[in-house]
């Protein structure tokens, strides 16, 4: 797959889920109600794929004047933490969505789920199996070969109830007994072959403490939670399509009327140069390949927020990629394009020099400070202007000077004149070097008649440079982030570890950068465009003594060019 910079607006695919709902509303189904839910498992931080699901579930309810529940599917206490619950709520709110008073947990229904399991046992539709996991798995068969019934399958109702109560009482070790639904070991759908619905887990739960030592499986808890909450549309990713018959079977055993939540599957989000598995993201965090879940290189919502992505850019991205029934992979360049497009309209412009080279303007008055008028955002005239201090000594980017320039290099060079943004024309006269031959500063002269960047005699220059006063500035640390992986599908190689494809240059830290004084009062997560350099935001590590900036995105997508070298 070759990557291209998205120059045109992509065609938004029709949302087939909305089409389904529109037809149901015409038919009067569910009394005209639309009620969705976003059901995260609190076992990690949310990533950009979850953001697509959040936008879809909350956005669908908003479109049809419905409701959305936030429900944590907390059925595996060994992997769940309150930290994850709190982070998920923060991420959903930050994206711009609100669940009101509809915050639920699968653990809210543990008593009802237990009673439902007892009901299944009493009706001869569930049994306790004391075989080990390997044996149960081997008896499942294959998609082309039916499974083998467990020798425990025909236990009496009384024996099953007794064993299940003893499971609940904590008499058995983990793995010694499970409760299975009695459905069809010959079903062509492997998920219908007597699935496990309860297992023993001697682990305290983050909400229920040590009350329970048996916990329902996700497939058992999920549909019933939907049913009890009155969910009309249970929207989930495509891998749950084969689970739908089981979802419906459980609800058929529970429901007492015509109402039934409808499960609809859509294709999950896959991005180039990214891993989306929570297990693999956790591995990156635990093995310290990144600096936590909110590392700006991570595809987590908290990482994207810290890097400088805006809620609008992520919502617009989710809208652009649309909702389909076919798995595919989206070019990460489209996500980067979305944040550039959003920040271009709203980010405050400032000048910053990341790799400074001192320039002394020899004919400029000693000690003078001039205030130059600069435009805050050319995309937004209402943003106004600001003053930028100009002094005898300034910094420019080291890359903006060459002592022996090639033919197409138009920036500063000995004897050449360039424009300083919002200021004056300057001409380089002398190059000062240290004992090692390294350039330490340039001596230039300025033309006082060119203030504001225009020449009265009409002469033209071919380059305009950004700059910062050497005495009136804010010193900062700047972190240049790039893609975390060098391969388009880092986890798409069966014979290789995804970490082999990590980009060693995904983070470059520049400790001594100079930004114009305007940023002095900037707060964490404030966004700026550093002119000619890219979009940056204030990192959470910033202090009153030193600001830290993250590069959110370059002004243009240079990745394709780098790959083509």
Strand partners, 350: 530
CA atoms of 244 and 223, how far apart (whole Å): 9
Residue 558: predicted pLDDT: 58
The pairing of beta strand 547-553 with beta strand 214-216: unpaired
Check 3, 33, 41, 89 and give the catalytic one: 41
Check 207, 244, 278, 305 and give the catalytic one: 278
**Helix (H), strand (E) at residue 15:** none
Mean pLDDT of all residues in 337-341:
96
pLDDT in tens, 130-144: 999 999 999 999 999
Residue 485, class by beta-carbon neighbours within 10 Å (0-12 exposed, 13-18 middle, 19+ buried)? buried
Please determine, for residue 562, whether its predicted confidence score (pLDDT) is greater than 50. no
Please determine, for residue 11, whether its predicted confidence score (pLDDT) is greater than 90. no
Residue 556: predicted pLDDT: 84
pLDDT in tens, 218-243: 999 999 999 999 999 999 999 999 99
Residues in contact with 335: Cβ distance below 8 Å, sequence separation at least 6, in sequence order:
48, 271, 314, 317
Secondary structure letter of residue 518 according to DSSP: G
Mean pLDDT of all residues in 109-134:
98
Two tokens at 65? 């004047």
Please determine, for residue 12, whether its predicted confidence score (pLDDT) is greater than 80. no
**Helix (H), strand (E) at residue 434:** none
**Is 252 in a helix, a strand, or coil?**
helix
CA atoms of 555 and 530, how far apart (whole Å): 9
Residues in contact with 439: Cβ distance below 8 Å, sequence separation at least 6, in sequence order:
357, 398, 401, 403, 431, 432, 433
Four-residue CA torsion sign, 461, 467, 470, 473: positive
**Is 186 in a helix, a strand, or coil?**
coil
DSSP string of 398-413?
GGGB-SS--TT--SB-
Mean pLDDT of all residues in 118-127:
98
Question: For residue 536, which of 525, 548, 552 has the smallest C-alpha distance?
Answer: 552
Secondary structure letter of residue 267 according to DSSP: P
Check 79, 153, 268, 421 and give the catalytic one: 268
Mean pLDDT of all residues in 249-275:
94
Question: For residue 72, which of 47, 111, 112, 108 has the smallest C-alpha distance?
Answer: 108
CA distances from 83 to 161, 169, 276, 293, 459 (A): 37, 29, 20, 11, 62
Residue 13: predicted pLDDT: 52
Please determine, for residue 6, whether its predicted confidence score (pLDDT) is greater than 90. no
pLDDT in tens, 541-551: 999 899 999 99
CA atoms of 438 and 434, how far apart (whole Å): 5
Please determine, for residue 523, whether its predicted confidence score (pLDDT) is greater than 50. yes
Percent over 70 (pLDDT), the chain: 96
Residue 471: predicted pLDDT: 97
Is residue 41 annotated as part of the catalytic site, yes or no? Answer: yes
- The residue with tokens 């001594």 is 512
Is residue 278 annotated as part of the catalytic site, yes or no? Answer: yes
121: phi then psi, degrees, rounded to nearest 5: -65, -45
Contact at 8 Å (CB) between 255 and 227? yes
465: phi then psi, degrees, rounded to nearest 5: -110, 145
pLDDT in tens, 467-478: 999 999 999 999
357: phi then psi, degrees, rounded to nearest 5: -130, 125
Percent over 90 (pLDDT), the chain: 93
The pairing of beta strand 233-237 with beta strand 103-105: unpaired
Banded model confidence at residue 14, pLDDT cuts 50, 70, 90: low
Strand partners, 117: none
CA distances from 464 to 57, 94, 106, 468, 485 (A): 48, 38, 60, 14, 34
Residue 559: predicted pLDDT: 47
CA of residue 126 relative to chain centroid, distance: 40
Residue 327: predicted pLDDT: 85
Mean pLDDT of all residues in 187-208:
97
Is residue 407 annotated as part of the catalytic site, yes or no? Answer: no
CA atoms in the 13 A half-sphere facing the CB of 324:
13
Question: For residue 551, which of 535, 562, 532 has the smallest C-alpha distance?
Answer: 535
Residue 324: predicted pLDDT: 92
Residue 453: predicted pLDDT: 86
Contact at 8 Å (CB) between 542 and 524? yes
The pairing of beta strand 348-350 with beta strand 417-420: unpaired
488: phi then psi, degrees, rounded to nearest 5: -60, -35
Question: For residue 466, which of 379, 529, 546 has the smallest C-alpha distance?
Answer: 529
In the predicted model, what is the mean pLDDT of the chain? 94
DSSP string of 291-360?
SSTT-TTS-BHHHHHHHT--HHHHHHHHHHH---SS---B-HHHHHHHHHHHHHHHPEEE-EESSEEEEE
CA atoms of 43 and 233, how far apart (whole Å): 24
- The residue with tokens 């291209």 is 4
**Helix (H), strand (E) at residue 112:** helix 110-122
pLDDT in tens, 209-218: 999 999 999 9
R_g (Cα) of the chain, nearest Å: 31
Banded model confidence at residue 328, pLDDT cuts 50, 70, 90: confident
CA atoms of 195 and 487, how far apart (whole Å): 38
Banded model confidence at residue 560, pLDDT cuts 50, 70, 90: very low
Residue 2: predicted pLDDT: 38
Please determine, for residue 271, whether its predicted confidence score (pLDDT) is greater than 80. yes
pTM for the model stands at 0.91
Contact at 8 Å (CB) between 77 and 344? no
Mean pLDDT of all residues in 415-440:
97
Residue 511: predicted pLDDT: 96
Residue 10: predicted pLDDT: 43
- The residue with tokens 């008073």 is 101
pLDDT in tens, 447-459: 999 999 889 998 9
């Amino acid at each position: 797959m070759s990557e291209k910079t998205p120059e045109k607006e992509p065609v938004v695919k029709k949302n087939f889920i909305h089409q389904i709902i529109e037809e149901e509303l015409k038919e009067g189904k569910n009394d005209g109600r639309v009620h969705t839910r976003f059901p995260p498992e609190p076992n990690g931080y949310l990533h950009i794929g979850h953001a697509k699901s959040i936008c879809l579930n909350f956005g669908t309810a908003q479109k049809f004047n419905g409701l959305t529940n936030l429900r944590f599917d907390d059925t595996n206490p060994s992997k769940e933490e309150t930290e994850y619950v709190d982070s998920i709520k923060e991420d959903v709110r930050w994206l711009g969505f609100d669940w009101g008073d509809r915050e639920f947990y699968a653990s809210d229904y543990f008593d009802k789920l237990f009673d439902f399991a007892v009901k299944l046992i009493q009706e001869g539709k569930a049994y306790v199996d004391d075989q080990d996991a390997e044996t149960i798995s081997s008896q499942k068969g294959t998609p082309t070969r039916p499974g083998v019934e467990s020798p425990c399958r025909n236990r009496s109702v009384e024996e099953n109830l007794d064993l299940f109560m003893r499971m609940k009482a904590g008499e058995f070790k983990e793995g010694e007994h499970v409760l299975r639904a009695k459905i069809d070991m010959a079903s062509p759908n492997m998920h219908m072959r007597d699935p496990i619905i309860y297992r023993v887990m001697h682990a305290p739960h983050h909400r229920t403490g040590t009350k329970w030592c048996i916990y329902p499986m996700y497939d058992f808890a999920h549909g019933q939670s939907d049913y009890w909450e009155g969910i009309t549309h249970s929207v989930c990713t495509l891998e749950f399509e084969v689970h739908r018959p089981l979802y419906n079977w459980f609800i058929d055993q529970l429901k007492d009327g015509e109402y039934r939540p409808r499960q609809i599957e859509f294709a999950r989000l896959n991005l180039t140069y990214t891993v989306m598995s929570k297990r693999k993201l956790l591995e990156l965090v635990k093995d310290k390949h990144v600096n936590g879940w909110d590392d700006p290189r991570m595809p987590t919502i908290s990482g994207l927020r810290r890097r400088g992505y805006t809620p609008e850019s992520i919502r617009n991205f989710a809208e652009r990629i649309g909702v389909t029934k076919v798995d595919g992979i989206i070019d990460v360049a489209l996500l980067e394009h979305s944040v550039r497009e959003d920040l271009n309209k709203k980010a405050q412009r400032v000048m910053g020099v990341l790799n400074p080279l001192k320039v002394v303007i020899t004919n400029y008055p000693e000690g003078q400070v001039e205030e130059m008028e600069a435009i805050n955002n050319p995309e937004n005239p209402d943003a106004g202007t600001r003053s930028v201090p100009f002094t005898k000594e300034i910094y420019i980017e080291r890359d903006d000077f060459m002592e022996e320039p090639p033919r197409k290099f138009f920036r500063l060079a000995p004897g050449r004149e360039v424009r300083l943004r919002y200021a004056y024309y300057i001409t380089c006269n002398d190059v000062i070097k240290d004992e090692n031959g390294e350039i330490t500063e340039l001596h230039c002269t300025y033309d006082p008649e060119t203030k504001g960047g225009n020449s009265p005699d009409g002469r033209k220059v071919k380059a305009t440079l950004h700059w910062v006063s050497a005495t009136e500035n804010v010193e900062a640390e700047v972190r240049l982030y790039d893609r975390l992986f060098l391969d388009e599908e880092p986890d798409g190689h069966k014979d290789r570890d995804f970490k082999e494809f990590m980009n060693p240059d995904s983070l470059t830290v520049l400790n001594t950068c100079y930004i114009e004084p305007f940023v002095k009062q900037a707060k964490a997560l404030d966004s700026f465009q550093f002119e000619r350099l890219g979009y940056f935001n204030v990192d959470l590590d910033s202090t009153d003594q030193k600001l830290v900036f993250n590069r959110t995105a370059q002004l243009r997508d240079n990745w394709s060019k780098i790959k083509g070298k």
